[in-house]
């Protein structure tokens, strides 16, 4: 009985402690972000598949998130993917390069608000690609994206 109580107490602590601001992405399409950690709470906005979020704390089966525009809300935890990291482009337009550095050729440009999957990191650069296709686009400076 004492072991069972210890196990339950441990899980309660794990489910309610902060996640210390780890990054994740939305794992399903059109996920409701709510004002409180329950299904009756107001829907503040919907987040799409791959949308990067910062996890700040948990409450039961819910996780509190913050997005790149400082919007805060609650999402049902199974709808968050902590294994796939994504980033949103911050400037209106930014160069994407063939390699991690300014000396590399510009292969395309990204627009502000576009979301890409993070494939690799190299110092102050990230290699990004398309979320579903897993296809590389190129390299972008870390300070040009949020979510890395």
Instruction: Indicate which CATH number applies to the domain containing 10.
Output: 2.30.30.40
Percent of the chain with pLDDT over 70: 86
Residue 16: pLDDT over 80: no
**Distance (Å, whole) CA 13 – CA 7:** 10
- Pick the residue with more confidence: 108 or 11? 108
**Distance (Å, whole) CA 137 – CA 114:** 12
**Reduced to 3 states, what is the DSSP secondary structure of residue 109?**
strand
Assess contact for 108 and 133: CB atoms under 8 A: no
Residue 3: pLDDT over 70: no
Is residue 92 located within the same domain as residue 123?
Answer: yes
| Strand (E) or helix (H) holding 116 | strand 115-122
Is residue 71 located within the same domain as residue 111?
Answer: no
Question: What are the backbone angles phi and psi of residue 5, rounded to the nearest 5°?
Answer: -60, -45
State the total domains in the chain: 2
Q: Can you give the pLDDT at residue 134?
A: 85
Average pLDDT over residues 34-38: 98
pTM of the model: 0.80
Final residue of a structural domain among 66, 81, 96: 81
Q: Can you give the pLDDT at residue 133?
A: 87
**Distance (Å, whole) CA 62 – CA 59:** 5
Average pLDDT over residues 126-148: 94
Q: Can you give the pLDDT at residue 10?
A: 43
Question: Which range marks the domain in which residue 43 is found?
Answer: 2-81
Residue 2's pLDDT band, with cuts at 50, 70 and 90, is low
Residues in contact with 63: Cβ distance below 8 Å, sequence separation at least 6, in sequence order: 19, 55, 57, 74, 75, 77, 80
State pLDDT tens for residues 76-126: 999 999 999 999 999 999 999 999 999 999 999 999 999 999 999 999 999
Is residue 77 located within the same domain as residue 97?
Answer: no
Assess contact for 93 and 52: CB atoms under 8 A: no
Centre a 10 Å sphere on the Cβ of residue 74 and count the other Cβ atoms it contains: 21
């Amino acid at each position: 009985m004492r072991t069972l109580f210890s196990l339950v107490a441990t899980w309660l602590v794990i489910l309610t402690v902060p996640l210390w601001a780890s990054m994740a992405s939305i794992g399903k399409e059109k996920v409701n972000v709510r004002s409180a950690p329950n299904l009756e709470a107001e829907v503040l906005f919907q987040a799409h598949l791959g949308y990067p979020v910062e996890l700040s704390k948990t409450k039961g089966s819910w996780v509190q998130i913050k997005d790149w525009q400082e919007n805060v809300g609650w999402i049902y935890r199974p709808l968050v993917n902590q294994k796939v990291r994504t980033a949103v482009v911050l400037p209106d337009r930014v160069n994407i390069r063939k390699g991690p550095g300014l000396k590399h050729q510009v292969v395309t440009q990204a627009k502000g608000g576009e979301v890409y999957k993070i494939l690799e990191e190299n110092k102050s650069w990230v290699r990004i690609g398309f979320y579903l296709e897993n296809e590389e686009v190129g390299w972008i400076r870390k300070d040009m994206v949020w979510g890395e």
